[in-house]
Structures are given as structure tokens and as C-alpha cells.
């Protein structure tokens, strides 16, 4: 290979191999780069990175992946006996840049399934996104800290606990975008010397822009999401929250630039929700609810017409202190019928007041 193309990157034994529709996209990105761009180059010259990305962008889902996706779809739709499972599909409304920071010979990475080479959205990314939405609910007073801890778990040496939700990786649906989910995009650094010198070299209008190509997931690509919860109520609540976050907050990198957002799939219906908040709190009164105080947990709980509500420890202690001593002793011994006020967010109900 001539020096004009850049330093040879691919092994000699791989030089004659071509990227065809049976090639694993992840393997191609890691091993099929022919060379690195030269330091002095013509802007009209096609770089080896661009050639590689153009080839990978033409790759489609293999028959093996289609079979694996059908098997995964069956798993997502199944209902285990010991937990509640929810699954749903959403369609990308914009390009999705997931895993840009992954190690890659191309400087910019992408997250792909290790076995099949098709895009996935890691469950860890979905959990982090969902927690961001839950923190917004917490800041708006529509969720309590105990509920947040229960949903996502807690760390620490003494009080560590697993969360109530399992977030699975979201799989690309090979029936969307004709089975070809990849698209070549570009990031253009207009003032490279300014950034390389950490600001010591001022940016000017005479700087040479440095376009960096990278791979994204096409708009209109559909993904299958699945999660497990300890109860149907928690499963429904988390599904609603995750849907809202994917549509309004976006997932992955460059969300401020419009990447990573989803829209509702045509075959799915979204529960109505405010654009400014994942869920709207509703205040209800339960008359004659069966209320009990748990001495061990130091919390109040209530049941009413087959529904339950709780109060965290801090709220429970405050409510107990406001009660007459006789009623307080009764609650510590048995369930007592009381009129209470609750706050409902989705399917989660929290005791806020005892009406005397």
C-alpha cells in the first residue's frame, strides 16, 4: 500500500478479504481497517476509516441473528412464575450513538452484540436513564427516597441491597429499516489546535477542520425492551417511566445534539403522560382504610379495596407523633380503620396524612 494512504493497519493475510453481508460488524470494525489516514492529506481523498465505515454500514442482519432475535422475543413475552415481566418496542426517531467511548481503532466506538454483531442498548444504560427520570420525580416531590432505593438498590458495606427491577439489553428488531441498522455519521472538530493545546492556542477562522467519521444506528430502527420486576405494579410503573425517558430524555451520547430519542411504535400505545414529567401525582382519600404500624420497620402501611400504600420511616414517625397516645398504642398492637390521604404516582401509593 502506498504511503499516501497512510500506515498499513491490516495484516497482510487479511488484505484480500472483503466485507460482505455475512461479515460480523464488530469484527470488521476491530480488524478490517486497511490503514490510518496520513498526516498530510488531500481533503478530497477518501480515508481508510471512511471506506471501512461505508462497508460496515451496508451490512444487514444475518439469518442467525434473526433466529436469535425470535428466540429472545419469545423470552421477553414469557411470564415467569416468580416475577413480573414487561416488554415493549419503540422506534428510533433520531440516530442513536451508543458506546462512543468504547475502545476502537477508529477513535469512536459503538456497542454491538458480541456474538451477532448487531446493535444493542445495554441494560446498564437503560437503568441509568430510568434512574435519571426517577430523580426528576424525586426532585418534584412525586417520588420518595425509599421508593428510589427500592427500585434501583443501594450501595455501601452495611446497607447494600439489590434493586427491584432487572433491566435487560434492548435488541435491534431485524424487521425494521430493511435489516440494515447502520449509518455513517461524522463529527467535525473545527478548531483542533485549540482543543489539543487545552486552550492555549486561540481558535481562528483559518483553522483546518478535522472531520471524524463514526457509526450510528439509523432513525426508524426498532428495539425490543424487556424488564423484570418483583410485582406487576412495579413492572408497569417502570415500563411507563422507561418509555417516557426514551422518548423525552434520549439514550446514549450526543442527546443535546438530538441523538438518541425514540418515538412510539405504530403497533404500541403509550399511557398518557405529561411532557414535563414522567408521571403526574394524584392525591386520593381512603375512608376506613386498614392502617397498621410495623414496629420493626418503623413504618406505616395501609390497605383499601385490595390496594396498598406505605409511608417511609421519616413520614411514619411524623404521623405517629401527631396522633393521640391512645390511637398510637392501638396502631402498634393491631390494624385500625382510619381515614387517610395518599399520593399516587403511576401504580405507587404513598401515605401522606392521617385524617382525624
| Same domain for 160 and 292 | no
Q: In angstroms, what is the C-alpha Rg of the chain?
A: 27
Q: Write down the pLDDT at residue 169.
A: 96
Q: Write down the pLDDT at residue 256.
A: 82
| Same domain for 331 and 294 | yes
Burial, 254: exposed, middle or buried (Cβ in 10 Å; 0-12, 13-18, 19+)?
middle
| Residue at 348 is within a domain | yes
Gap between the Cα atoms of 335 and 147, Å rounded: 23
Gap between the Cα atoms of 151 and 137, Å rounded: 13
| Residue at 197 is within a domain | no
| Same domain for 289 and 149 | no
- Secondary structure element (H or E) that encloses residue 91, with its range: strand 84-92
| Residue at 34 is within a domain | no
| Same domain for 165 and 94 | yes
| Same domain for 260 and 143 | yes
Which residue range(s) make up the domain with 312?
A: 282-355
Q: Are residues 304 and 164 in contact, defined by beta-carbon separation less than 8 angstroms?
A: no
Closest Cα partner for 89 from 165, 206, 173? 173
CATH number at residue 350: 2.40.50
| Same domain for 235 and 147 | yes
Q: Are residues 285 and 341 in contact, defined by beta-carbon separation less than 8 angstroms?
A: yes
Q: Are residues 247 and 239 in contact, defined by beta-carbon separation less than 8 angstroms?
A: no
Closest Cα partner for 110 from 119, 101, 118, 99? 99
| Residue at 312 is within a domain | yes
Packed helices 123-139 and 145-152: angle between N→C axes, nearest 10 degrees: 170
Q: Are residues 273 and 242 in contact, defined by beta-carbon separation less than 8 angstroms?
A: no
* Tens digits of pLDDT across the chain (356 residues): 444 445 566 666 667 777 877 788 888 888 888 777 766 666 666 778 888 888 888 999 999 999 999 999 999 999 888 889 999 999 999 899 998 888 777 778 899 999 999 999 999 999 999 999 999 888 888 888 888 888 888 887 777 888 889 999 999 999 999 999 999 888 766 666 666 667 677 777 766 676 778 899 999 999 999 999 988 888 999 999 999 999 999 999 888 888 899 987 654 444 334 445 555 557 888 888 898 888 777 888 888 887 888 888 888 888 888 888 888 888 888 888 989 988 876 556 788 888 88
Gap between the Cα atoms of 343 and 284, Å rounded: 6
Q: Half-sphere exposure (CA, 13 Å, Cβ side) for 206?
A: 2
Residue 153 grid coordinates: 438498590
> Of 264, 296, 330, which closes a domain?
264
Number of domains in the chain: 2
Gap between the Cα atoms of 286 and 282, Å rounded: 13
Q: Write down the pLDDT at residue 64.
A: 93
Gap between the Cα atoms of 322 and 310, Å rounded: 17
| Same domain for 228 and 87 | yes
Spacing of C-alpha 134 from chain mean position: 12
Gap between the Cα atoms of 232 and 266, Å rounded: 24
Q: Is the pTM of this model over 0.85?
A: no
| Residue at 9 is within a domain | no
Gap between the Cα atoms of 10 and 1, Å rounded: 11
| Same domain for 294 and 231 | no
| Residue at 27 is within a domain | no
| Residue at 49 is within a domain | no
| Same domain for 329 and 253 | no
| Residue at 273 is within a domain | no
| Same domain for 159 and 76 | yes
Q: Write down the pLDDT at residue 41.
A: 64
| Same domain for 118 and 87 | yes
CATH number at residue 75: 3.30.70
> Of 223, 238, 264, which closes a domain?
264
| Same domain for 259 and 132 | yes
- Secondary structure element (H or E) that encloses residue 240, with its range: helix 232-248
Q: Are residues 90 and 246 in contact, defined by beta-carbon separation less than 8 angstroms?
A: yes
> Of 264, 298, 328, which closes a domain?
264
Amino acid at each position: 500500500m502506498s504511503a499516501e494512504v497512510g500506515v498499513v493497519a491490516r495484516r497482510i493475510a487479511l488484505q484480500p478479504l472483503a466485507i460482505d453481508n455475512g461479515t460480523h460488524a464488530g469484527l470488521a470494525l476491530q480488524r478490517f481497517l486497511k490503514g490510518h489516514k496520513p498526516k498530510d492529506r488531500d481533503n478530497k481523498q477518501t480515508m481508510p476509516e471512511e471506506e471501512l465505515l461505508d462497508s460496515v454500514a451496508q451490512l444487514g442482519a444475518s439469518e442467525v441473528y434473526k433466529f436469535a432475535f425470535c428466540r429472545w422475543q419469545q423470552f421477553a413475552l414469557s411470564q415467569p412464575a416468580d416475577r413480573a415481566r414487561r416488554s415493549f418496542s419503540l422506534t428510533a426517531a433520531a440516530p442513536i450513538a451508543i458506546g462512543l467511548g468504547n475502545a476502537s481503532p477508529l477513535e469512536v466506538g459503538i456497542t454491538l452484540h458480541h456474538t451477532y454483531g448487531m446493535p444493542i442498548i445495554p441494560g446498564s444504560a437503560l437503568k441509568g436513564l430510568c434512574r435519571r427520570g426517577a430523580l426528576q420525580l424525586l426532585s418534584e416531590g412525586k417520588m420518595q427516597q425509599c421508593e428510589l432505593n427500592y427500585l434501583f438498590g443501594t450501595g455501601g458495606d452495611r446497607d447494600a441491597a439489590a434493586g427491584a427491577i432487572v433491566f435487560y439489553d434492548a435488541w435491534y428488531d431485524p424487521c425494521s429499516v430493511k435489516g440494515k441498522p447502520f449509518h455513517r455519521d461524522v463529527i467535525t472538530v473545527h478548531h483542533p489546535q485549540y482543543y489539543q493545546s487545552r486552550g492555549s492556542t486561540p481558535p481562528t477562522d483559518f483553522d483546518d477542520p478535522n472531520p471524524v467519521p463514526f457509526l450510528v444506528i439509523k432513525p426508524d430502527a426498532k428495539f425490543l425492551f424487556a424488564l423484570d420486576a418483583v410485582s406487576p405494579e412495579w413492572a408497569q410503573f417502570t415500563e411507563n417511566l422507561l418509555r417516557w425517558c426514551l422518548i423525552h430524555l434520549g439514550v446514549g451520547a450526543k442527546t443535546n445534539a438530538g441523538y438518541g430519542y425514540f418515538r412510539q411504535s405504530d403497533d404500541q400505545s403509550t399511557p398518557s403522560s405529561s411532557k414535563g414529567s414522567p408521571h403526574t401525582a394524584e392525591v386520593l382519600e381512603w375512608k376506613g382504610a386498614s392502617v397498621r404500624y410495623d414496629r420493626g420497620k418503623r413504618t406505616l402501611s395501609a390497605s383499601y379495596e385490595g390496594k396498598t400504600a406505605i409511608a417511609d420511616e421519616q413520614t411514619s414517625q411524623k404521623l405517629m407523633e401527631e396522633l393521640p397516645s391512645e390511637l398510637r398504642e392501638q396502631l402498634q398492637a393491631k390494624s385500625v380503620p382510619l381515614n387517610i390521604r395518599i399520593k399516587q404516582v403511576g401504580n405507587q401509593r404513598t401515605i401522606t396524612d392521617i385524617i382525624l
